[in-house]
Amino acid sequence: MSPFNAQKRHVVCVPLPTQGHVNPLMQLAKLLHCKGIHITFVNTEFNHRRLVRSLGPEFVKGQPDFRFETIPDGLPPSDVDATQDVIALCDSTRKNCYAPFKELLKKLNSSAEVPPVSGVIADGVTGFAIKAAKELGIPGVQFWTASACGFQGYLQYDELVKRGVIPFKDEKFIGDGTLDTNIDWILGMKNMRLEDIPSFIRVTDLNDIMFDFMGSEAQYCLRSSSIIFNTFQELESEVLDAIRAENPNLYTIGPLHLLGRHFFQKEFELSGLSLWKNDTKCLQWLEKREPNSVIYVNYGCITVMSEQHLEEFAWGLANSKNPFLWIVRPDVVKGEEYANLPQEFLDEVKDRGYITTWCPQNQVLSHPSIGVFLSHCGWNSTIEGISAGVPMICWPFFAEQQTNCRYACTTWGIGMEVNQDIKREEIEALVNEAIKGEKGEEMRQKCLQWKEKAMRATDTGGSSYNDFNQFLEALS
């Protein structure tokens, strides 16, 4: 049975308003749009203003059949060009976005300018959008924008409470070896430790906002009429099969940017939506570098660190003597508006380091000069790295990044993990091993195998290609 009305094709897309969630939902929206579906893409007012700054007012005017709408996020007004506080944002969206989103759906349905809304595709953690759609009799599905293994991890939150594993009695669990405890009872997941479960379980109080938010949103998503994943069957087969046993209506349609090659003439036309201005000059800089020689460093849109850790990363990169492209967001240092790197370091690396605030990541990762990706292991970065065949040095920050890191380093064999308390000597050693060492070569070969599998999944007749077409049929 189709999740959407068969006669009318107007889909409203609602991401959680952070860069890592907006991007994949925008990619999916573009794919649906190129198949003749009218799209309304809903941003928060805060992110809409950021898009005007990064892409210009003309972009956000949209097209006649691809429009942007906004809803408030419920947080105090701000024009800071940085990611909002994640805890406050998640708490606010579930408390404050339901009513304005429901009003937006009513407005769209009474408008003579657009077709009536036939369906809502809501981010896997925007249950408010599905609730509003249901109340108005509009079918909805959820798009879990992170990994399937991360999703399965969040689904264990209630079970961890039942088993008495959490809440922890006090903060000692962080350093006393508790997080090394093996977890062997999660269906579809092997070789897992407590520290590999999405990090919001690290609480001494079950009323913790993010523990409650992610656990309850994941359970709600599991009960959705259908769930879309930006992954491919072979990459996460065991965990996908375990989730499918709970909800058989899964569509694995990733990697989305590879699927886009069937529908867009330009290789990188299927881009997401960048809330930062992209520096494309770094691509020219990469042209001058040897194949597999450059370390690409990007911690994503949310990770923050201490000034000391930033400095350790800096000198680790400098001391490795390898060329590097380093994305340093202005807000990457916790509590600081700007990240300041020592002048001595800048002088040392001026001929072999390119430092900027944001870049077109897909194009960077696909460049032949990139030899290794030092990453926070966010899902977009992980699956883009896999698609490009680039091995990873993993420094997970929070959420399911720990789960993705575990899979990259064990199940997929494409990564090496950095100690959380960063030391320059370790960064230097890992980088050199990844670029020139035996382990690095081993990872590179594994990466190329996964890249080939990702290409096959998104080729005509592949698992992701077929799932996308089945989803399109459900929309028609």
Tokens of 84: 């909002």
Partners of residue 186 on adjacent β-strands? none
Distance (Å, whole) CA 35 – CA 9: 10
Distance (Å, whole) CA 126 – CA 123: 5
List the pLDDT tens digit at each of the 476 positions of the chain. 455 544 569 999 999 999 899 999 999 999 999 899 999 999 999 988 888 887 788 777 778 899 999 999 999 888 777 778 999 999 999 999 999 999 999 999 999 999 999 999 999 999 999 999 999 999 999 999 999 999 999 999 999 999 999 999 999 999 899 999 999 999 999 999 999 999 999 999 999 999 999 999 999 999 999 999 999 999 999 999 999 999 999 999 999 999 998 876 543 355 556 666 789 999 999 999 999 999 999 998 888 899 999 999 999 999 999 999 999 998 888 877 778 899 999 999 999 999 999 999 999 999 999 999 999 999 999 999 999 999 999 999 999 999 999 999 999 999 999 998 999 999 999 999 999 999 999 999 999 999 999 999 999 999 999 999 999 998 87
Are 154 and 198 in contact by the 8 Å Cβ rule? The answer is: yes
Q: 3-class SS at 279?
A: coil
Chain length of the chain: 476
- Which helix (DSSP H) or strand (DSSP E) does residue 7 occupy? none
Look at residues 367, 377, 143, 363 and name the one whose alpha carbon lies nearest to residue 270.
363
Q: What is the pLDDT of residue 338?
A: 75
Distance (Å, whole) CA 235 – CA 226: 20
Q: Identify the active-site residue in 10, 33, 123, 376.
A: 123
- Which helix (DSSP H) or strand (DSSP E) does residue 192 occupy? strand 192-193
81 in active site: no
Distance (Å, whole) CA 347 – CA 57: 38
What is the distance between the terminal CA atoms of the chain, rounded to a whole angstrom?
11
Give residue-wise pLDDT tens across range 420-444.
899 999 999 999 999 999 999 999 9
Q: 3-class SS at 4?
A: coil
Q: What is the pLDDT of residue 268?
A: 39
Give residue-wise pLDDT tens across range 444-475.
999 999 999 999 999 999 999 999 999 999 88
CA-derived radius of gyration, the chain: 22
Distance (Å, whole) CA 204 – CA 401: 21
Distance (Å, whole) CA 409 – CA 471: 32
279 in active site: no
Q: What is the pLDDT of residue 19?
A: 86
Alpha helices in 178-306 (DSSP H): 209-222, 237-246, 256-259, 281-287
Q: What is the pLDDT of residue 402?
A: 97
Q: What is the pLDDT of residue 99?
A: 98
Q: What is the reported pTM? A: 0.94
Q: What is the pLDDT of residue 4?
A: 52
Q: What is the pLDDT of residue 3?
A: 52
Q: 3-class SS at 142?
A: strand
Q: Which regions of 219-328 does DSSP assign to beta strands (E)?
A: 227-229, 250-252, 294-298, 324-327
- Which helix (DSSP H) or strand (DSSP E) does residue 173 occupy? none
